[in-house]
Amino acid sequence: MKRLVCMVAVFVMLALSTAVRAEDVFFEIKADKPSYTPSSITVKKGDHVKLKITSTDVEHGIHLEAFGLKDTIIPEKSSVVLEFTADKTGTFSFPCTKYCSWRHLVGARPRLEIKVIE
């Protein structure tokens, strides 16, 4: 019996050490007219990502179409919290979707980049 318990323990330890474990990751992002800060985040595929986004000036729009999320960040209201599972690798770029300043006119909208790596 003792031998069986040891074999099961070794098997479980091996399984845990080789499995890719997803993590819960959390980022706080400040949105303002020139940029989102941080403007780029990196997560691992499979991670459960939680973004808390707060505007420090005017309304901004966030549309993470690659992950099926869309919201408006309103400065007078509480922060927007978006959660998703990073289920695909790649670099995804999300420009602000609400006209927040003249920067929209010259292709310099605030932008959030999400890199999902293996």
Tell me which residues touch Cu ion (CB under 5 A): 96, 100
* 45 versus 59: smaller Cβ distance to Cu ion: 59
Cβ closer to Cu ion: 47 or 55?
55
Residue 92 Cβ, how far from Cu ion at the closest point, in Å?
18
Cα-Cα-Cα-Cα torsion 82, 68, 40, 47, nearest 10 degrees, comes to 70
Report the nearest approach of Cu ion to the CB of residue 61 (Å): 6
DSSP annotation string for 58-91:
S-EEEEEGGGTEEEEE-TTSPPEEEEEE--S-EE
Closest distance to Cu ion from the beta carbon of 34 (Å): 10
Q: Which residue's CB is nearer to Cu ion, number 36 or number 86? A: 36
